[in-house]
Amino acid sequence: MCQHKGMTMFAERVTAKGRPMEGTVGTPGRDCGTHEKAVIVATGLLSDTQVATPMGWRAVEGLVAGDMVLTFDNGFREVTAVESAKIWTGDGLAPQDHWLVEMPANTLGNRTTLRLPPQQGVMVESDAAELLYGDPFSVIPALALEALPGVSRLPVRAKTRCVTLRFAEEEVVFSREGGLLHCPSSRDLLDLDGDRPQYEMLPLTLARDIVETLTLQEARASELCPMI
């Protein structure tokens, strides 16, 4: 595989081999004023998101435990739990750090606009990930995609809800918009018995570096295949 300057710069920033096990996705806290006791949900699929099922595309809020959903690695898998919650329980708008990430069509292979909570895991394909981890696919927080052209932040109001689909094991599901979205396991963290998770989300710093190489890949592709 051809290695270009962007991947070399990225590799130089990584000090450990393999997928990083430490680090969390986070955003700087801001004073919520009168909303100090408000709850913020930073992961999940917006309630109008549709996923692939044996009966076609279905909205996540209409799914129940026992329904089958198409996954990236394991075909159709049974949903073990469906959890729905407001993203923001305070009054008015949520703090800006927790606004949705909005990706217009064709930003990352998505067919239509895709909106995600900032810490929702998204699977992306990149040359840099394959170079470093031996796998071109990696899961990154949606917040890291903010650096891509056209991506913006969308205010979150109190009525906005998201749904978490859980499976027996972690899975990545297909959304109708064209996204590959991470869904957690229904197992309690204490029941993992030291097993590594199937999908390890990259820490925000490394995720942003991956996104930087994606923009370089697009620029390089444009140079090699100019529009006629």
Give residue 188's pLDDT.
Answer: 58
Dihedral in degrees, nearest 10, Cα atoms 182, 188, 190, 195: -40
The most confident of the ranges 188-197, 201-210, 214-223 is 201-210
Closest to 80 (Cα-Cα) out of 94, 92, 96, 68: 68
If phi over 0 gives left and psi between -120 and 50 gives alpha, with beta otherwise, what is residue 106? left
Rounded Cα distance, 143 and 204, in Å: 8
Using pLDDT thresholds of 50, 70 and 90, give the confidence band for residue 172. Answer: very high
Rounded Cα distance, 112 and 57, in Å: 15
Task: Report pLDDT digits (tens) over 1-40.
Answer: 344 333 333 344 443 333 333 333 333 334 443 455 677 8
Name the residue with tokens 């009168």: 34
Adjacency order of strands within the sheet including 45-46: 45-46, 161-167, 75-86, 68-71, 171-174, 180-183, 121-125, 137-141
| 45-120+145-186 CATH choice from 2.60.40, 2.170.16, 3.30.1360, 1.10.3470 | 2.170.16
198 vs 100: which has the higher pLDDT? 100
Kindly tell me if the per-residue pLDDT of 203 is higher than 50: yes
Based on the number of CB atoms within 10 Å of its own CB, is 21 exposed (0-12), middle (13-18) or buried (19 or more)?
A: exposed
Where do the domains of the chain lie? 45-120+145-186
The most confident of the ranges 64-78, 92-106, 199-213, 214-228 is 64-78
Rounded Cα distance, 98 and 143, in Å: 9
Helix (H) or strand (E) run with residue 39 in it = none
Using pLDDT thresholds of 50, 70 and 90, give the confidence band for residue 145. Answer: very high
Task: Report pLDDT digits (tens) over 109-144.
Answer: 899 999 999 999 999 998 888 888 888 999 999 999
Give residue 173's pLDDT.
Answer: 98
Give residue 191's pLDDT.
Answer: 61
Give residue 129's pLDDT.
Answer: 86
Closest to 118 (Cα-Cα) out of 27, 30, 206: 27
Sign of the four-CA dihedral 40, 43, 49, 53? negative
